[in-house]
């Protein structure tokens, strides 16, 4: 759009927050709306989200879940049934008090999440052990009133999927919660090319109403942690208040064991920050709406004519290989302007073809993630591009992984811990503290426990907060 | 689910309305929620909707539109800008007055449709003739307070897509509005196998804020019309109140010309009614989540073992052909129960295979839409099934088309008109009446003008309301 195209991007090193907003504007991903905290997701941003959705949805179905759709508006009384849940969500609710020209007898909340209304349904749907496990997923919009909005990262309305499952045993629910966290981890690492630390949340950061919350946490280049997805073992908390019961094989009534899990458009924020540079967005090929742009050199029709058949041939080859490509042969734009258009949008590979290239049967190929422009033979270029795309996908992950590892330290003392946090690192520490200890550290350093990681290379030691000997390791960081 | 499985289906001829609800319950498609007029779309119903979405979305993209996402909550002041629009939607609005624990300065309405918030964005996005045409689509939930809810047909919240476009000229907008109605018609006729009458709405039934509204209208077996989709030429009504302007090639400021168009989960209701019978749902193969069910005959393991390799081979063949299939080899169910499960869910083709069939290298094949069970050779059965599916798709359309034609009459007099309406028919009549005339007829007969059809085989005559000579033909019917 005309308005954004002229806008330049602030350097990352100068002001990371402004860089983030500039990239969103330059790549035409999203913008704020007049309703505080609400966001318009523009076509290019939405196309990336659709790619994410499609890939995740396939995995959610492949692991046995079925999609369904539950109402947006939830009776306020539902939310009040689970006391931790209502306590957690009350400050964030948007409430419908009037509808159809009249005041409602009971206010309706716009769903902040759907545990309550889904459990009301489960209490009717689940009768026997034969109905279990019940494995449901929903793609939906949710609203949580946001006082400090930030595009994609914190918005009043956001898009997400929320899985909701019911099981016969505690163990099955626990396995499900961990399985879906594993799916998220695989998706974020393989598809978004963002390495994460997977682990359990402490009580302080647990989902309102959950027995255990698992999380995957990424570290952004500015040294802040970003929670990319969570999966909850809900125990029997919701089952008990909504009466979700089944007759077991001995004909005895039992409450079900449950999970819920979700990822949202917040992942878009992680994607932008994890890979982008001063030139704008850099997209992993797996989620790039356009993986390859073919840019013509030469702005007049005569020059264009010389390259037409070569480009048609190349496009045929790319199409057959299933590569998502576009051709930029705009005559009213300079080569520089054409290049800038696609660079800021993060298209993984750019191919430039002009009359001189055609004459020597070559094309110039540039990876968005690496600096060098290569001249490559046109013969077999499609296959070569396919291999390059695979390499870009891996390279982006490796680069982000190296950064994560370089910014992960083990801190034995409070001093070392504070220094690590100041440097924008993930600090692994021996931990035997309570919520009070966490709050004290948060107050002093703005860092919180991101998770108790499932895997780490460290043995225990003396807890940095309490001095108690412990084998538990916690990862601290400052978060968005 | 246990609760619904035992429920029997009321005969269509006895009580069509109850039959409709019974089929929805028996096929496990949807149910009401506690919030009046809100609906839970259950997994099987949602899987059908997902099939519809995917096919329509591909066509919307193929015709040059891009998906985006706009906020759910709209400032009340936006809606008030277009006076016809707010008049039309005010009685149906759900209003958020409180959020984040406080009373809002300005109430927010839950979107009933998105013309207003999208035009606010267009006023910023569109600056030059180069930005046109702007072709945007959104998949979203909308809320319109519903006093007489009916699953899928009239629900307070429904799912839909809404296209919103802006063009440089009136002619382009008119072409777009008609093009997208054409896409809807093709989709409904080819994919849902439901024949429709396409035409223009009269002023009385026009969309609030539109210059012209186009519609596709189907006739259900109970003699009621169902509006399946609409497309609006909005003229410059919204452009003028939201200031959506562009600089033309002469550098002069012009208002854009616009369209909007939408289809919703209401189509699910049409699908159920158009094809279903006393046995339950009948699905066109194009949208059937399961196109073929392979049912094993023989309930013990020994018998099952004999058919295993045959079924595996058949499934391999079906998979290669891209047929969506499932195998029902439940040991704890009778053959009758297995058959009933899939019949009520409307699976287009059922294949039964038992040890006796394997011995003679044959299988029993039953079309859901036709009465006869055929014994067919296992050799080449996949290909044969593929052809049968194509035939089912066409047959369902032909059957519905014959019904529509049988129930369409030309009425020259008011008496003939009233008789046709009483018989649940579409009455084509010469029409030169006003909104007042329409209202008078509606009061007397409960029939309204469904549309002024684009195509019909009738020449004009004396208007049944006014007696004026006219070449205009209107189709009347009673509607949902």
Question: In terms of CA atoms, which chain B residue is nearest residue A74?
Answer: B35
Query: Does A96 sit within 8 Å of B70, measured CB to CB?
Result: no
In this prediction, residue B7 carries a pLDDT of 56
> Considering only CB atoms, which chain A residues are within 8 Å of B3?
124-125, 127
Q: Which pLDDT belongs to residue A462?
A: 96
Helices (H), A407-476: 414-422, 435-445
A–B CB contacts, 8 A cutoff, strictly below: 173
Nearest CA in chain B to A104: B94
Q: Which residues of A touch B1 (CB under 8 A)?
A: 125, 127, 131
Q: What is the largest CA-CA distance in chain B?
A: 83
Cα torsion through B375, B376, B382, B388, rounded to 10: -70
Average pLDDT over residues B41-53: 98
Mutate to test the interface with B, among A70, A99, A152, A244 (most CBs of B within 10 A): A99
- Residues listed for chain B: 480
* Set of chain A residues whose Cβ sits within 8 Å of the Cβ of B31: 121
Among A315-319, B129-133, B307-311, the minimum mean pLDDT is found in: B307-311
Question: What tokens were used for A405?
Answer: 């590892």
Can you state the angle between helices A43-62 and A266-275, rounded to 10 degrees? 110
Low-confidence ranges of chain A (pLDDT < 50): 1-6
What span, in angstroms and rounded, lies between the C-alpha atoms of B353 and B344?
A: 20
Residue B322: its pLDDT value, please?
97
Strands A461-462 and A469-470: antiparallel
Long-range CB pairs of B121-126 (<8 Å, 24+ gap) are B121/A31, B121/A33, B121/A40, B121/B70, B122/B164, B122/B166, B122/B242, B122/B244, B122/B256, B123/B242, B123/B243, B123/B244, B123/B245, B124/A3, B125/A1, B125/A3, B126/B166, B126/B244, B126/B245, B126/B246, B126/B256
Residue A433 distance to chain B (closest CA, Å)? 32
Task: State pLDDT tens for residues A103-155.
Answer: 999 999 999 999 999 999 999 999 999 999 999 999 999 999 998 999 999 99
pLDDT of amino acid B331: 82
Question: Which value does ipTM take for this structure?
Answer: 0.96
Across the interface, do B41 and A69 touch by the CB < 8 Å criterion?
A: yes
Distances (CA, A) of B46 to A290, B29, B228: 30, 7, 18
Q: With beta carbons less than 8 A apart as the criterion, state whether B260 and B163 touch.
A: yes
Give dist(CA A30, CA B212) in Å, integer.
32
Q: Which of residues 68-87 of A touch B (CB under 8 A)?
A: 68-75, 78
Q: If you average pLDDT over residues B249-264, what whole number do you get?
A: 98
| B101 near A CB under 8 A | yes
8 Å CB contact of B68 and A75: no
Among candidates A3, A69, A91 on the partner chain, residue whose Cβ is nearest the Cβ of B124: A3
The Cα–Cα gap between B163 and B263 comes to: 9
Q: Tens digit of pLDDT for each residue in B437-459? A: 999 999 999 999 999 999 998 98
For B96, which of A110, A130, A159 is closest by C-beta distance?
A: A110
| This prediction's pTM | 0.96
Ramachandran angles phi, psi of A377, nearest 5°: -65, 140
CB contacts under 8 A, A 106-125 vs B, are 107-108, 110, 117, 120-121, 124-125
Nearest to A96 among B49, B70, B110 (CB): B110
- Residue A7 is predicted with a pLDDT of 55
What is the nearest CA distance from B92 to chain A, expressed in angstroms? 5
pLDDT of residue A303: 73
What are chain B's domains? 2-275 (3.30.930.10), 290-390 (3.40.50.800), 408-479 (3.30.110.30)
Residues of B in contact with A141 (CB under 8 A): 72, 140-141
The yes-or-no verdict on residue B44 having pLDDT over 50 is yes
SS3 A225: strand
Contacts of A2 in chain B (CB under 8 A): 127-128, 130-131
CA distance A5 to A1: 6
Six token digits for residue B10: 């009321």
pLDDT on residue B113: 96
Q: At residue B6, does pLDDT exceed 80?
A: no
From the list A35, A42, A98, which residue is nearest B75 (CB)? A35
Contact B143 A108 (CB under 8 A): no
Distance from CA of A70 to the nearest CA of B (A): 5
Q: A135 CB near a chain B CB, below 8 Å?
A: no
The reply to whether residue B95 touches residue A99, judged by beta carbons under 8 angstroms, is yes
Of B70, B75, B127, the CB nearest to A40: B70
Q: Does the pLDDT value for residue B5 go beyond 60?
A: no
CA distance A108 to A90: 13
Nearest one of B230, B41, B73, B35 to B149, comparing CA atoms: B35
**Which residues, numbered 359 to 388 in chain A, qualify as contacts with chain B under a Cβ-Cβ cut-off of 8 Å?**
none
Residues 8-37 of A with CB under 8 A from B: 31, 33-35
Give chain B positions within 8 Å (CB) of A264: none
Q: How far apart are CA A99 and CA A118, in angstroms?
A: 23
Contact (CB, 8 A) for B197 and B205: no
Residue of B nearest to A4 (CA): B125
The DSSP string of A164-187 is EEEESSHHHHHHHHHHHHHHHHHI
Tell me the pLDDT band of B4, cut-offs 50, 70 and 90. very low
The pLDDT value given to residue B3: 40
Q: What proportion of chain B, given as a percentage, has pLDDT over 90? A: 89
- pLDDT band of residue B299 (cuts 50, 70, 90) is low
- Give residue A299's pLDDT: 62
CB contact under 8 A, A2 and B147: no
Instruction: State whether residue A93 sits within 8 Å of chain B by CB.
Output: yes
Smallest Cα distance from A275 to chain B, Å: 23
What is the pLDDT, as a whole number, of residue B361? 95
Q: Is A216 exposed, middle or buried (0-12, 13-18, 19+ CB in 10 A)?
A: buried
Give pLDDT tens digits for B322-344.
999 999 998 888 999 999 999 99
Q: Is the dihedral of CA A49, A55, A61, A64 positive or negative?
A: negative
DSSP state letter for A230: E
Shortest distance between the Cα of B184 and any Cα of chain A, in A, equals 22
Mind telling me how many Å the CA of A32 is from chain B's nearest CA?
A: 10
Q: Do A117 and B33 touch (CB under 8 A)?
A: yes
């Amino acid at each position: 759009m005309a308005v954004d195209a002229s806008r330049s991007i602030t350097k990352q090193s100068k002001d990371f927050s402004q860089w983030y907003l500039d990239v969103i504007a330059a790549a035409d991903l999203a913008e704020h709306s007049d309703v505080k905290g609400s966001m318009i997701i523009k076509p290019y941003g939405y196309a990336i989200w659709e790619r994410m959705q499609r890939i995740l949805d396939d995995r959610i179905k492949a692991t046995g879940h079925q999609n369904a759709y539950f109402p947006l508006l939830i009776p306020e009384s539902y939310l009040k049934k689970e006391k931790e849940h209502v306590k957690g969500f009350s400050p964030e609710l948007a409430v419908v008090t009037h509808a159809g020209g009249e005041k409602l007898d009971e206010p309706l909340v716009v769903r902040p999440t759907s545990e309550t209304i889904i459990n009301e349904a489960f209490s009717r749907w689940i009768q026997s052990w034969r109905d279990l496990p019940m494995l449901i997923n929903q793609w939906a919009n949710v609203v949580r009133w946001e006082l400090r909005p930030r595009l994609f990262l914190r918005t009043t309305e956001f898009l997400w999927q929320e899985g909701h499952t019911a099981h016969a045993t505690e163990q099955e629910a626990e396995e499900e919660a961990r399985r879906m966290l594993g799916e998220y981890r695989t998706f974020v690492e393989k598809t978004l090319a963002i390495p994460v630390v997977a682990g359990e949340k402490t009580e302080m950061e647990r989902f309102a109403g959950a027995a255990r919350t698992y999380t995957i946490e990424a570290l952004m280049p500015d040294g802040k942690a970003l929670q990319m997805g969570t999966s909850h073992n809900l125990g029997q908390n919701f089952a008990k208040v909504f009466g979700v019961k089944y007759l077991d094989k001995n004909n005895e009534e039992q409450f079900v064991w449950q999970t819920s899990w979700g990822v949202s458009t917040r992942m878009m924020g992680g994607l932008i920050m994890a890979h982008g540079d001063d030139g704008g967005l850099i997209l992993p090929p797996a989620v790039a709406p356009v993986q390859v742009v073919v840019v013509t050199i030469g702005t007049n029709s005569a020059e264009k004519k010389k390259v037409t058949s070569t480009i048609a041939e190349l496009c045929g080859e790319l199409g057959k290989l299933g590569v998502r490509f576009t051709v930029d042969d705009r005559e009213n734009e300079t080569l520089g302007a054409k290049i800038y258009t696609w660079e800021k949008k993060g298209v993984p590979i750019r191919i430039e073809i002009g009359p001189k290239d055609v004459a020597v049967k070559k094309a110039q190929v540039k990876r968005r993630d690496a600096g060098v422009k290569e001249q490559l033979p046109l013969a077999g270029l499609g296959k070569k591009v396919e291999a390059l795309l695979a390499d870009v996908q891996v390279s982006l992950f490796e680069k982000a992984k190296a950064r994560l590892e370089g910014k992960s330290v083990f801190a034995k003392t409070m001093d070392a811990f504070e220094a690590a946090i100041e440097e924008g690192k993930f600090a692994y520490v021996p931990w035997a503290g309570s919520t009070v200890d966490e709050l004290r550290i948060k107050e002093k350093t703005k860092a919180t426990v991101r998770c108790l990681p499932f895997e780490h290379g460290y043995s225990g030691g003396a807890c940095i907060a309490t001095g108690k000997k412990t084998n538990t390791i916690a990862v601290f960081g400052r978060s968005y």
